[in-house]
Amino acid sequence: MKILAIETSCDDTCIALAEPSAKDFKLMSNLISSQKEIHKKWGGVYPSFARREHQKNLVPLLEQGLRATNMLKLKVKNEKLKITVKNLKLKNILEREKFLYDKTEKFLGKYQKPEIDYIAVTVGPGLDPCLWTGVNFAKALAYWWGVPIIPVNHIEGHLLANWLTPIGESAKRKTQNVKQKTENKIKLPAICLIVSGGHTQIILVKKIGQYKILGETRDDAAGEAFDKIARILGLGYPGGPVIAQQAKQSSMINDKLSIKLPRPMLNTKDYDFSFSGLKTSVLYDYIKRNSKIKKSKEYIRLIAKEAQQAIIDVLIKKTLKAARDYRVKTIMLGGGVAANKELRIQFEKKVQEYSPEANLIVSSGKYCTDNAAMIAMSAYLRIPNKKAINWNKIKAEPNLRIAD
Ligand code: KG4
Ligand code: ZN
């Protein structure tokens, strides 16, 4: 079985090709065209720019993926698509994606249908115009090639990215280099902390496909807090990696400076979060400093470190509380912020203190930030209970939730 996966929910255009079997999940190709450089100028993502970039990138990325996996086969004769009912329908599916239509038309005229059994596409949550571009592209290919679509929830994708973790990656696991088996090796129930640019949720995973949101952020997401704090400090976008980099360079002791930021909702009995006050505290601290301090490396590094630690403290405490309360066997992380090294190290330590029996699973950083491998994995794991759907029934759902 071969799956083509498409992910365009935010500012990364992602295409993956996977071949799952009873033995293992073979990731044949996993491509990302990042728009970070474009959005850097604005300090955040502009949906209409992001959409335009998706329209430009999707076809070249698909071609690249198919070529790398020997699935790109030229037609005997390059067909210029004529005006037929079939072609008009294609035009109709892509009517709001003019740029993408031109590229898609050429691509379909030039190459044969690849050996693909399913097209998996992120339908939500995410930025509405960006989601639609990916969804429309998936619909156009599915229609043209006669392949069914599997709609994927982006958050479930982040969660199930943990199934991409090769056994042996977690510090607690001794066996190295064992390929991830497609049968379920992860012990459930589990708690999964999702920390991305748009979401911060603690999810109880009863089974694959059976979830309960135990808590979530009441305002900004953890990734959003990183991004906003980085903007205040003039560090650029995306904020997470630059804050982490600054924090790492901070020396442990600084006699002249002292910064203490709040840990919002650290001791509340629920599993909710709030990060908007933390960002405001950073802003107040920044405003009150004189310009010499503000511009000093020491200050930026120290406040970055303190802000990162404040976020880590709350994330770990609330997640472990949920894990304890629900007596789960596994704790998982997912989403861009889960790529944060310090968060991973501190989580690993705390989980071992909490219960030596509990397993912490975190997939490698490249599967935590947005990618289409997780969309392919998600589609694969959900095929038994979620039937593939005909292309004309698919739509983007920007506010889709994984559970109630
Ligand atoms: O999951 P993701 O790639 O996209 C969304 O679904 O939102 O997450 C993006 C977020 C951004 O806010 C980014 O600043 C943050 O993840 N992020 C990080 C790191 N890498 C990305 N945050 C902290 N540390 C990192 N190393
Ligand atoms: Zn994401």
- The residue count of the chain comes to 404
For a substitution probing ligand 1, which of 36, 201, 226 has the most ligand atoms within 8 Å of its CB?
226
Quick check: 40 and 118 in contact, CB under 8 A?
no
CA distances from 336 to 35, 58, 111 (A): 15, 22, 35
How many CB atoms within 10 Å of residue 385?
A: 10
- CA 109, distance to chain mean position in Å, is 33
User: Ligand 1 centre and the CA of 282: distance in Å?
Assistant: 19
Side chain identity at 334, as an amino acid letter?
A: G
- Does ligand 1 have an atom closer than 6 angstroms to the CB of 240? yes
Q: Which helix (H) or strand (E) holds 44?
A: none
Quick check: 164 and 363 in contact, CB under 8 A?
yes
Q: What pLDDT is recorded for position 76?
A: 85
Residue with the nearest Cα to atom 10 of ligand 1?
Answer: 197
The label of the residue with tokens 């709030």 reads 274
Q: What pLDDT is recorded for position 322?
A: 96
Q: What pLDDT is recorded for position 321?
A: 95
Quick check: 168 and 175 in contact, CB under 8 A?
yes
- Does ligand 1 have an atom closer than 6 angstroms to the CB of 10? yes
- Tell me whether the CATH fold assigned to 3-165+370-393 matches the one assigned to 178-362: yes
Concatenated DSSP letters of 311-368: HHHHHHHHHHHHHHHTT-SEEEEESGGGG-HHHHHHHHHHHHHH-TTSEEE---HHHH
User: Ligand 2 centre and the CA of 165: distance in Å?
Assistant: 17
Q: What pLDDT is recorded for position 259?
A: 94
Looking at the CA of residue 198, tell me the nearest atom of ligand 1: 7
CA distances from 140 to 15, 209, 277 (A): 15, 27, 44
The label of the residue with tokens 């120290």 reads 302
Tokens read off for 209: 């496909």
What pLDDT, in 10s, does the model give residues 201-255?
A: 999 999 999 999 999 999 999 999 999 999 999 999 999 999 999 999 997 666 6
What b/e sequence results for 271-310 when a residue is b if at least 16 CB atoms lie within 10 Å of its CB, and e otherwise?
Answer: bbbbbeebbebbeebbeebeeeebeeeebbbbbbbbbbbb
User: How is the chain split into domains, by residue range?
Assistant: 3-165+370-393, 178-362
Q: What pLDDT is recorded for position 77?
A: 78
Round to whole Å and give the CA distance between 350 and 259.
24
Residue 78's SS3 state is coil
Which value, to the nearest 10 degrees, does the dihedral of the CA atoms of residues 83, 88, 90, 91 take? Answer: 100
What pLDDT, in 10s, does the model give residues 148-175?
A: 999 999 999 999 999 996 544 443 433 3
Tokens read off for 200: 């911060």
Nearest of 75, 72, 77, 81 to residue 114 by alpha carbon: 72
Q: What pLDDT is recorded for position 29?
A: 96
10 Å CB burial of residue 47 (0-12, 13-18, 19+) is middle
Quick check: 146 and 347 in contact, CB under 8 A?
no
- Which regions of the chain are under pLDDT 50? 167-183
How many CB atoms within 10 Å of residue 364?
A: 12
For a substitution probing ligand 1, which of 369, 371, 402 has the most ligand atoms within 8 Å of its CB?
369
- Does ligand 1 have an atom closer than 6 angstroms to the CB of 157? no
- Does ligand 1 have an atom closer than 6 angstroms to the CB of 226? yes
Could you tell me which CATH class the domain 178-362 is placed in? alpha beta
Q: What pLDDT is recorded for position 356?
A: 75
| CB neighbour list of residue 41: distance below 8 Å, 6 or more residues apart | none
Q: What pLDDT is recorded for position 97?
A: 94
- Does ligand 1 have an atom closer than 6 angstroms to the CB of 370? yes
The domain 3-165+370-393 is placed in CATH, from the list 1.10.287.3510, 3.40.50.2300, 3.30.559.10, 3.30.420.40, at: 3.30.420.40
- Does ligand 1 have an atom closer than 6 angstroms to the CB of 126? no
Quick check: 279 and 229 in contact, CB under 8 A?
yes
As beta bridge partners, residue 31 has: 15
Kindly report the pTM of this predicted structure: 0.94
